[in-house]
Each structure stands twice: as C-alpha cells, then as structure tokens.
Structure 1
Amino acid sequence: MSIWKITCRLRDKAVIELPDDYWIFEDEGRSYKVLISYEEIDEMDIIDYTVRDMSCFFSEKDSPEDFQPSIVAFLEQFSTINIRWNNAFEQMTEDIIAFGAGFQEFWLTRCSFPPSSTLDERTPIASALQCLVRCYNAFEVSLNWPFRYMEEYLANHNHIRLRETESDFRGLGFYPSIDVWRLPHDHDLPEERNVTRTPLGRLWTDTIQIAQRILFRGRATDWPLVFFTLCILTLARGCLDGRWTNALRIAYNTLKGSLDDLCRIFLHCTGDLHPLNPNFDLEWFTLMVGGEEPLVDYYREMNKMWANSAGVRYEEEYETFEGFCRNLDIFVHGMVL
C-alpha cells in the first residue's frame, strides 16, 4: 500500500452498523446481531456518566453556527473518561485521551473561523475520538463475552443478554445492557443502514486522509495535532482486538495497514522530533514552532509521560518505523514495564 495514497475499508460483510445502536458482526462460520444500549438509564445520568457519540450533539439538520459549542461539549466528556468508561483503561491511557481532547479544544481556539464538521483539517483528533467511541462498543462486548459456554448456548438459542444495565459498584458510571442474537446462515442484510452518522469504515478512512493532508503541509506546528490523532486511532484499533468473532479480527487487521502508513508519513516529516524519542530535543522543537507555548507544553508532557513509563527501555528503537509503532502501541495502552 502506497504511503502517498492511504486507503482503508472495513469489509461490507464484517462489521456493519445499523440504526439505533445495533451492529452486525459477520464471519464465515457465524453471524451475530448485537445491541449495546443505555436506554434504561435516566437521561441526566447518560449525559453525566456515559460517553456519547458526536451525532448526539450535532446533526446535519442543525445550524453550522451550533457546531462549535457542540464539538466542545463532545470533547469535554473525555476529561472525566475514568467515570464514563468505569476505569476500563490504564491511568496513563485515560490521561492521553484527556490530553488529546484538550489539545483539540486548544486547536479550535487557533482557527480563524470555526469548522462545521469533525471531518475537517482542523478537527482530526475529534474525528479520531469518534472512531474510539464506536470501537469501544465492540470492546464492551469482548469484555463480557463468556467463551466457555457461549457457542453451545447460541447453538440452541437465538438470543442472550450478556449484561443488564447497571451502575458501577465503585460509584463510577454505568454499564450498558448487551444483547446478542444468533443470525441464520442465510439471513438477509437489512436495506437500511445507519444514515444518522458516518459509518465507522468511512470515518476511519477520512480521519487518516485528513491527517495525511495535514502532514503534507510541512508545518511543525501541526505535528502535535497528528501525534494525538495517531494515539487515539491506535487505541481505537486496539478496542477491536476481540477473539469472539472473526469479524473483529478482519476489521482489526484491515485498519492496521492505513495506520502504519500514517505512522510512516509522520516519521518522514518529523524525524526524531516526537515525544517517543527518549532524547527528544525540546529546545529545537520550540524554535521550529516559534515558541508557541501550548504546542511545546503538550509535547513536553507527552515526552515526560513516555520517559517516566516504559520509554527509557526503548532508547534504540524509537528511530525505526517498527520501533515507533511498537512504542506507540505500548504508550497509548499504558503498558508500564
């Protein structure tokens, strides 16, 4: 796959989004329809204790003037991600998500005129966060899939509820209900797809291509924007690493190629001026971005987080493409060794 033309496609018969939070996961041996729902939770609790997709804040029917406050409200959810996703990730991962959302908010303040969509060169992190929210649904199913008896049960039953809607026992957020239906081998795909929001495959592709165009502008000031986008997309792809259906493995492997190519372009543009370099030259980066403090501060903080975790163990790997990808995966998943 050429690094100059990034493409990414989820197979039509692998992971399919339907309206009203239904999904279909298909592979050669079996197919499932899944519903992940917070409907039994009060509306105010949904607002305060869950992560909602951008489509809940803004739709094509809304006025473009409403987009700016809508995207800010979407981003602010990630400052309390530990409550909303019940400490599903390591602390460092939650911090990276929060820093990424915070940087996107800062970046919006630099724009001379507001964007009207997350699929914009000014909002790639927000677009990546949308990918993460969608992929997290699959992660929820993977966390609750009972491998020992699930196949036997669904061989004799068409439906199972994996989990009831409930609050976290630690007083954090809420867990959604998860329903799974076994579909017959000759089932027909519904004609109606999810038209209320951009499908995950297209959203991922557009996010990658937007980040690519940003890098091709050749501005060092753009590098933190793309770095956080890479972090969030890497985490989103990791959420698809589920073993309960080959459909997720297909999606997981399909997304790898485009993400790897974006990493190659990022390294080609930045060289060793990125936070996963244990010898990161902050002074030189400061000069390249004209001393703009927020850009320097965010990069400094990411480099500090990396150095204080596992980063010091990988001094000889940061310069290679393979080493960077491996370190990025370790970094975003909070794997402190």
Structure 2
Amino acid sequence: MASSSDLAAKAKEAFIDDHFELAVDYYSQAIALDPQTSHLFSDRSQANIKLNNFTEAVADANKAIELDSSNAKAYLRKGTACFSLEEYHTAKAAFEAGSKLAPEDARFTDWIKKCEKCIAEEEGELPTQSSDVAPTNVVASSQATEKTDVTSEVIAPTPAKPKYRHEFYQKPEEVVVTIFAKGIPANSVFVNYGEQILSVTIDVPGEDSYIFQPRLFGKIVPAKCRHVVLSTKVEIRLAKAELIQWTSLEFGEKSLVAQPINISTGNQRPSYPSSKPTKDWDKLEAQVKKEEKDEKLDGDAALNKFFRDIYKDADEDTRRAMRKSFVESNGTVLSTNWKEVGSKMVEGTPPDGMEMKKWEY
C-alpha cells in the first residue's frame, strides 16, 4: 500500500504534467492516510485553484491554516481563491497574514495591491471624472424639457481608451480571444476562468494594471480553456460548453439569441462577429504571423522564443521532460530527455554568484 509521501509525490508529478484532477485525487488519498499534515491541504488547494474549484480551494486552505498557522503558502492559496470568488476583503486579509509570515515574498504585496484596487472600485472610491463637472444624470426629466439650453452644456466624460486592444473569433467548439499586448513577460499575465466569466490581469511592474473581466456570452468549460503569451499578444482559447454561435463576446441584455452551429465536414473558417465593415481575416492572420516570424529578438526574449518553438513542436515525452526539469531545478535546467530526468529529481544549477531559492509550485 502506498504511503502518504508516495501519494504526495505522485500528486506533484501529476500537477507538473497539468493533470490537475489526478493531482487532487492523489492528494485526497494522501490526506486520508495523514489528515493532520497542513501542506497536503495547501497543495490540494492549489490544484483546486487550477481547476477553478475556488470554494473547495478556500476550504482546503482554511484547513491547512487550522493545522499550521505558520503555513504562508496556505494564506497565499486562500487569498488567490477568494480573489477569484470576488471576495476581495477576505482575500486581502489572507494576503496580509501571509505577508507577515513571508515578508520576502513579493507575491503577497502584488496581490494586496490588486485587492485594494478592486475594493476601491466596488466602493466607488475611484474617481471617474473631475469633481467640478456635473454628472450627466443629475438633471431631472422635467428640467431637461424646460432648460435644454443648460443641459446641452453638460459634457459627458470621454471613456478612457483601453490600454490594450482585444478582438475575438470563434470556431464551432471554441472562442479565441486575442489581447494585443507586445513584449509582456509571461509571469505578468494572470488568466482565470469561471463558468461564464473570463478574468485577465496584466500586471507589469511600474505600470497600471490592465484588467479585463467580461461576463461571457455563453458558458465555457474552464478545465479545457488555456492561454499562451506570445511576443506580440496574449491568445486565450475558451472551450464552449455548447456548440452555439456567439453573437458577441460579452453577455448583455440586448444580446441576440444564440443559434446552434451546423458543423460541416469540410474546412470551416472561424467567424468573426463585428459591426465594422468586413475585414479580410485571412490576410490579417497571415500578417500577424509574418510580424511574429520577422520580429528581431535578442537576449532572453530570443532564448525564450527558441525554447517555446522547441516545446510547441515536441512530442509528449519531450514536453514532460522540459516541464519537470525546469520546475524541479528552479528554472536552471531544461532537459528534453524524459528517460534521463523522468526517474529522478533534477537538481538545480545556479549561475556563478547566485543563490538557489526553492520555487513553490
């Protein structure tokens, strides 16, 4: 019979391979054998977050904290799950408690700032226009008819232009959202999926955060959704829960009734709903791909693109080897040989003059 530590090791391996449901199952078996170990609950909480099981993730994090109040990782998991549930006050309290336990971990500080911003938005503390400009809705209807010369002078504030432009197109089984953000580090992009919610945060140090949180036209399957950060854009693929035609990306009161999609056996180009004049999307897609191909990269950007290209064209064993070696070595080793790294722990090899620090998955 497998021990609790053996099951935990299997869970970690499943997590590394993006098999989050299997990881939850192994952690549950380990907890059944050893129900008093805090880190098992905090680790299962992280796997539940990956599955968008945020309520279960909060419960696991709370149990981990109950067993060990010094478990900083548990506070991080609790805060992350609460934030996804839009419980911003609770999330902030968890991040603040974790920050006291691990003040060197900058993730707590970043999350606290996000919570404070969301709380301010909820409570209406963020100014939307200058205080000396009268809002457009303060004039009663009777006054509007009697004093049209006054109301005509009230100037509505111009909506702020989004920091990044986004577009979407769809196939029968998925919707592809593209956010055109050039040169964004992958670790600055946070994407979460709900049943009918997409949440995207781009948080580059020294810049205002970009937050895009639409309520989607239709329901999606969070476990099948994925995203990739490229040199010129963030591409998000949303798996549809139903094979219906979305008439828009976001749900609204005036949204048209969705129509079932007739899937033909021939090649079918994705549809691009738009109120603008028809575009040649084949030409646009080819142009974007050409720009990415011709883009001159150097340094870390060139190296990252090189490894992304290897990963994209690799078989499953090569990908597993790359993920396992990179995670276990703290980002200092990247192997493509699964036979070499699959049966052993990959030790980190930091550059001269640098110190190894354990990476928390």
TM > 0.5 fold call: no
More RCO (CA 8 Å, sep 6+) = 1
- Name the TM-score, length of structure 1 as normaliser: 0.25
Structure number with bigger Rg: 2
The structure that is helix-richer by fraction is: 1
- Name the TM-score, length of structure 2 as normaliser: 0.24
